[in-house]
Amino acid sequence: MAFILLGIPNCDTVKKARVFLQEHDLPFTFRDLRKDPLSAEEWRALVDQDTAGTLINTRSPSFRKTGHPAKGLDAETKVAVLLAQPTAMKRPALLRDQQLLAVGFDRDFYAQLSA
């Protein structure tokens, strides 16, 4: 099954992940969060799987636009933030079979996927 990479095309970290996946012949589909936004249900599923609490980049300008505090966000607030500002997500997010595998690009983790 192919991976799904969530992000925006002009993000440098997303570019690195895309290049890595291509160079290692890992099949993936790129989903541009601006052109093909996630639904509330899709965001909810990702928020529920984000046990590390890293899905939202609270230092991003997109997050700051929301006016929410950086700490203590409950799941409903996270979904609302991501619906309003999808680029507040720490990029990229990597999924397979609707399971959140990684948030951000970690070369070592991605290398394990190609092993």
* Structural domains of the chain in order of their starting residue, each with its CATH number: 3-114 (3.40.30.10)
Instruction: Give me the sign of the Cα torsion angle 66, 37, 54, 61.
Output: negative
Q: What is the pTM of this model?
A: 0.94
CA dihedral in degrees (100, 101, 104, 107; nearest 10)? Answer: -170
Number of Cβ within 10 Å of residue 83's Cβ equals 15
Distance CA 8, CA 35 (A): 9
* pLDDT for the residue numbered 115: 74
Question: Edge-to-edge strand order for the sheet containing 28-32?
Answer: 28-32, 3-7, 93-96, 99-103
Active site residues: 11
Note whether 78 and 105 are within 8 A (CB). no
Residue 114: its pLDDT value, please? 80
Per-residue pLDDT of the chain (115 residues; tens, 9 = 90+): 799 999 999 999 999 999 999 999 999 999 999 999 999 999 999 999 999 999 999 999 999 999 999 999 999 999 999 999 999 999 999 999 999 999 999 999 999 998 7
